[in-house]
Amino acid sequence: MSSSLSSNISKQQIKQLPTLEELLQTAKETFRQNFGVEPELACCAPGRVNLIGEHVDYNDGFVLPMALPMVTLIVGGQRVGNDVDLITCCTDVDEPKRVKFRLFSLKPSEKPKWSNYVKGVIHYFMEDHGEMPFGFNAVIVSNVPVGAGLSSSAAIEVATLTFLEHFTGHKLPNDAKRALICKAAEHNFAEMPCGIMDQTISLCGKKDCALLIDCCSLEMFQIPFVAGEKDLVVLICNSDVRHELSDSEYPTRRKQCLQALNIMALKSYRDATDEGNLSALKANHCDEVLLKRARHVITEIKRAQEAAIALKAHDFKKMGELMTKSHMSLRDDFQVSCPELDVLVDAAINCPGVLGSRMTGGGFGGCTVTLVQRNALDNVITAIYENFIKKFNKNAAERIEFYICTPSEGAKKLSL
């Protein structure tokens, strides 16, 4: 493929998302049109990409995500009575896009599904704070892709919680408490047994930093991640694939990890070692699937710690190597990759200028994250495009979207 065509592919498929200012303008106009007044408050929270440490947040491990420039934004204002009137402008959520509910009769797992994230946060916020004296009208907009493994759910939860804190004037004591409220909302209202990572990074992200999170103690450490100093970029590739296995296999993996932990007679994976405990599993003739699950968790926790050390030392070569090893483990031992993600990673790591690549998120579709030299971007995108055509078809390749991202800020109040 010619270099000019390569450049055209890059320009076409590097997704130009609405800016924060454009999102805010859309939200304000929608609010004004539907409620006849100006909104009183605006808050936003970002999605995230996990650089390394996958499927270990619910296993007491270490994770190393960064907040994205992609955000979910909520604007709102007080209304008479105890109702919430909520509108979403997001095009990729289930219908209906407007829902009204009472603050004091919140029920989980209702339709539309997207509203459960908001309801759950309100429920647990009031459980901590007490009943709110009045309801509100609100509009939600977002440029975080849904179903791509970039934590669109955490973004709406954290944006809602940030809005509620400013709306009521009740500040929660710390970010750990905030993250736990959002996690409870996702567990019990959206019925997704997530870990704590997504909500934490959406709350605590910092510009030009990744966040090392100890998912056992909830301690957090900002790790400088200024890839631009080495002319590197973080390239996210959205496969536009979401296999139905993702919802059912997530709780299955959690159960398998716990079973392996019990066989090892340990209380936490933080007490496990790849030499001693995996050998013990083999000696006990442990089921091969459980052995694989435990091996991924134990080695991935170690990789996440080593990655933080590498970033601190500006050793991006080592960071890239760890990212690629992480993908191999997720593919072979945790078995949450899929052919589309494997093609994206294989195409990337075989390109000059790529330091490492891996799937990110729960798996069975979604995105990959790649650490790449900026001057190699066109060639990497072209290679991915061509390999996708060979393995699948041109239509599948044309649905791929790319995002060039830098570590960004966490949740915040916006000026209207």
Q: How many CA atoms lie within 13 A of 91 on its CB side?
A: 1
More confident residue, 260 or 250: 260
Give yes or no for a contact between 38 and 62, defined as CB atoms under 8 angstroms apart: no
What confidence tens digit (pLDDT) does each residue in 99-112 have? 999 998 898 888 89
User: What pLDDT was estimated at residue 193?
Assistant: 77
- Percent of the chain exceeding pLDDT 90 equals 72
What is the arithmetic mean of pLDDT over 146-150?
82
Element (H, E) at 121: helix 115-129
More confident residue, 285 or 335: 335
| Parallel/antiparallel/unpaired status of strands 209-214 and 220-224 | antiparallel
The pLDDT-based confidence of 95 (bands split at 50, 70, 90) is confident
Q: Which residue has the tokens 């589309």?
A: 340
Output the average pLDDT for the chain: 91
What is the arithmetic mean of pLDDT over 71-95?
90
What is the arithmetic mean of pLDDT over 257-266?
92
Tell whether the model's pLDDT for residue 247 goes beyond 70.
no
What is the arithmetic mean of pLDDT over 186-211?
92
Reading the block at residue 67, the tokens are: 């907040």
- The count of residues in the chain is 416
The pLDDT-based confidence of 145 (bands split at 50, 70, 90) is confident
Closest to 409 measured CA to CA, from 158, 145, 71: 71
Q: Is the peptide bond before 96 cis (omega within 30 degrees of 0)?
A: yes
Using CA atoms, how far apart are residues 369 and 52, in angstroms rounded to an integer?
A: 9
User: What pLDDT was estimated at residue 409?
Assistant: 97
What is the arithmetic mean of pLDDT over 25-52?
97
Reading the block at residue 10, the tokens are: 């890059």
User: What pLDDT was estimated at residue 3?
Assistant: 40
User: What pLDDT was estimated at residue 243?
Assistant: 63
In this structure, which amino acid lies at residue 52? Answer: I
User: What pLDDT was estimated at residue 4?
Assistant: 40
Using CA atoms, how far apart are residues 69 and 393, in angstroms rounded to an integer?
A: 31
Tell whether the model's pLDDT for residue 6 goes beyond 90.
no
Instruction: Among 13-22, 311-320, 334-343, name the one with the lowest average pLDDT.
Output: 13-22
How many C-beta atoms surround the C-beta of residue 352 within 10 A? 11
Instruction: Among 45-49, 108-112, 242-246, name the one with the lowest average pLDDT.
Output: 242-246
Using CA atoms, how far apart are residues 29 and 26, in angstroms rounded to an integer?
A: 5
Reading the block at residue 220, the tokens are: 């957090």
Using CA atoms, how far apart are residues 358 and 336, in angstroms rounded to an integer?
A: 12
The pLDDT-based confidence of 1 (bands split at 50, 70, 90) is very low
User: What pLDDT was estimated at residue 9?
Assistant: 57
What is the arithmetic mean of pLDDT over 190-205?
90
What is the arithmetic mean of pLDDT over 59-70?
96
Which positions are annotated as active-site residues? 198
User: What pLDDT was estimated at residue 8?
Assistant: 53
Q: Please give the model's pTM, rounded to 2 decimal places.
A: 0.90
Q: What is the DSSP letter of 17?
A: P
